[in-house]
Amino acid sequence: MTFSALGLSDELVRAVSERGYTEPTPIQAQAIPVVLSGGDLLAGAQTGTGKTAGFTLPILQRLTASAKPATGKAPIRALVLIPTRELAAQVEESVRDYGKYLKLTSMTMIGGVNINPQIQRLKSRVDILVATPGRLLDHLQQKTLDLSHIEILVLDEADRMLDMGFIRDIKKILAILPRQRQNLLFSATFSDEIKQLADGLLNKPAMIEVARRNATAELITQKIYPVDRERKRELLTHLIKEYNWHQVLVFTRTKHGANKLAEQLNKDDIPALAIHGNKSQAARTRALAEFKTGKLQVLVATDIAARGIDIIELPHVVNFEMPNVSEDYVHRIGRTGRAGSEGEASSLVCIDEHKLLWDIERLTKREIPVVQVPGFEPDPRIKAEPILNGQNRGQGGGRKQQGQGQGRGGQGQARTRAAPRTGSGPSRTNAATGKPAARAPASHRSGGYGR
């Protein structure tokens, strides 16, 4: 299967080839013909499988084929709604890259930056608008934006938008769009909420799901590193230096925790910056740019940034703290192992997080191997403590921030004490030898990891 066989124009195939892509991914092979036909689409694929090109390429072709001579300022014809600023910037960049040989124009509309340059940009031609819901509503309220000619609507990362509490904003936007339009809904997971949204939005949609719901990419090597909560930063530093890790994306639960960890890593002579919702857009853009080029060794992020980081061949993702919402684990580790490349996802798990780990393994239907680093064995005398406001006691924290603690499963809320795990668990590996260690008898797996 080639891109030209899907019905794409020579100009689009040329642009795709220059990006180094020769064969469409499964989601692209199935989605592109559906979008080209003009029908609605509900598409699900695990992160990193090429969803962006799956809707960008056929949209560019459809708009080019139906373009009419402008008798004044051309109207905005396609709207792509995105949950985060970083992801919006990346999607709009893809629109420009794939459409480089076409006469269509695009624009990013995000918050965190001055609105006036966006108002000026809207005075010239914009065919495709890639926007975050909040800033889009700002423009609508100021009457600087006309969406009355929208032909195609895309909700990208729809599950994340619901998690972040954007459902009301989305409904406000949908209410002012033309009723006759093509609707495309892309999501990494198909939750009941997503299906409910799709029922009210889509008209007899084609449904595509190219990976098992909440599956993790097979090219990602997953590992669990048991460690006491107070020694996580020490273990992370050890792993980065011992194995010479570069381009390491590290996830924390809170913004305060991300800031604190980045400061500590810098004191350990590991260049690190934090990226989260409280950072200015300029700071977030600069940190991401330095990380992509390899100048910055470690980027510490909260889940708010999980969907907005797309780096081909990113080698390492680390869960410094396990997410309270199991689906977020899939999104986090999906930053690596993208576009057919291999990646490694490591999780530093303390006794407080055993139940969170068990929930993740149940969701993904796979047991994650455990690697015990000599010298960092957990102290069996330490008891599990509740995770309050999305943080472990002793890990730093502060109050729950806006944008944290919203969405599925009550992220960021107080959790009950982690229950001991029972039954057989993942194989344990000795870090010194790399060989699997013998499992303990079932009668000895009643506490700790249940392993």
Question: 105-147, pLDDT tens digit by residue?
Answer: 999 999 989 999 999 999 999 999 999 999 999 999 999 999 9
The pLDDT tens digits for 388-405 are: 655 554 443 333 333 333
For residues 204 and 226, state if they share a domain: no
Domain tally, the chain = 2
For residues 48 and 175, state if they share a domain: yes
Q: What is the pLDDT of residue 400?
A: 33
Residue 345 confidence (pLDDT) above 60:
yes
CATH number, domain of 80, equals 3.40.50.300
* Residues spanned by the domain of 263: 220-444
For residues 202 and 271, state if they share a domain: no
Q: What is the pLDDT of residue 47?
A: 62
Mean confidence (pLDDT) of the chain = 81
For residues 238 and 329, state if they share a domain: yes
What's the CA gap between 320 and 249, in Å, rounded? 10
The pLDDT tens digits for 284-336 are: 888 888 988 888 999 999 886 655 566 767 889 999 999 988 888 888 888 77
Q: If pLDDT is split at 50, 70 and 90, which confidence band does 220 have?
A: confident
Find the mean pLDDT for residues 5-33: 90
Question: Do β-strands 428-430 and 436-437 pair in parallel, antiparallel, or remain unpaired?
Answer: antiparallel
Q: Please name the residue ranges forming H helices in 81-227.
A: 85-98, 116-121, 133-141, 158-163, 167-176, 192-201
CB count in 10 Å sphere of residue 343 = 22
Q: What is the pLDDT of residue 59?
A: 97
pTM for this one?
0.61
Q: 59: part of which helix (H) or strand (E)?
A: helix 51-65
With respect to residue 407, please indicate whether it lies within any of the assigned structural domains.
Answer: yes
For residues 182 and 227, state if they share a domain: no
For residues 232 and 147, state if they share a domain: no
Q: Give me the torsion for CA of 151, 152, 153, 156, rounded to 10°.
A: -160
Residue 429 confidence (pLDDT) above 80:
no
Q: What is the pLDDT of residue 48?
A: 65
With respect to residue 450, please indicate whether it lies within any of the assigned structural domains.
Answer: no
Q: Report the chain's terminal Cα–Cα distance, integer Å.
A: 45
For residues 155 and 245, state if they share a domain: no
Q: If pLDDT is split at 50, 70 and 90, which confidence band does 19 have?
A: confident
Q: What is the pLDDT of residue 11?
A: 95
For residues 281 and 388, state if they share a domain: yes
Q: Which of 209, 238, 268 is the last residue of a domain?
A: 209
With respect to residue 194, please indicate whether it lies within any of the assigned structural domains.
Answer: yes
What's the CA gap between 264 and 259, in Å, rounded? 9
Residue 200 confidence (pLDDT) above 80:
yes
Residue 428 confidence (pLDDT) above 60:
no
Q: If pLDDT is split at 50, 70 and 90, which confidence band does 87 have?
A: confident
For residues 38 and 120, state if they share a domain: yes
Q: Give me the torsion for CA of 103, 108, 109, 115, rounded to 10°.
A: -90
For residues 163 and 235, state if they share a domain: no
